[in-house]
């Protein structure tokens, strides 16, 4: 049986996904704690690029929307156990240069008091032949 905490956090993941698909940064950031972190899938370190704090996370997400203005997270599924969660999705979008992106990925989430304190994002590497 799913605990009330797990159910609430799963509902948060579903709502965050809807906010991402609406490209609504204010709605997205309402789910994040002030001291949150976001590990982007690309970057100079083994964990990608780590953004720390709401302002940095907001800026990083704004850059994602700028790089994929029509980004959409579809075929999403979410699992939660207490304060840990996983989301799986198919990201689609088009870059400003017209390149189409279609990639599977997942996010690892951590919650505290109903807010996101950590989002760690992973994408498959798609090879073009």
The DSSP bridge partners found for residue 119 are 38, 109
Q: Can you give the residue ranges of every domain in the chain? A: 4-123
CA 92, CA 88: separation in Å to the nearest integer? 13
Place of tokens 């304190």: 117
In this predicted structure, the answer to whether residue 2 has a pLDDT above a threshold of 80 is: no
CA 101, CA 45: separation in Å to the nearest integer? 23
Give the CA angle between residues 106, 2, 30 to the nearest 5°: 55
pLDDT single digits (tens) 64-116: 999 999 999 999 999 999 999 999 999 999 999 999 999 999 999 999 999 99
CA 69, CA 94: separation in Å to the nearest integer? 7
**Domain covering 4-123 assigned CATH 3.40.50.1010 in the classification:** no
């Amino acid at each position: 049986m799913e605990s009330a905490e797990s159910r609430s956090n799963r509902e948060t993941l579903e709502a965050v996904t809807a906010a991402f698909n609406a490209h609504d940064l204010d709605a997205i950031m309402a789910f994040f704690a002030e001291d949150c972190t976001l590990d982007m899938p690309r970057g100079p370190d083994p964990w990608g690029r780590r953004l720390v704090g709401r302002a940095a996370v907001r800026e990083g997400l704004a850059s994602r929307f700028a790089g994929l203005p029509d980004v959409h997270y579809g075929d999403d599924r979410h699992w939660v156990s207490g304060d840990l969660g996983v989301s799986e999705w198919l990201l689609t979008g088009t870059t400003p240069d017209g390149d189409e992106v279609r990639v599977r990925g997942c996010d690892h989430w951590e919650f505290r008091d109903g807010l996101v304190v950590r989002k760690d994002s992973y994408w498959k590497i798609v090879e073009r032949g």
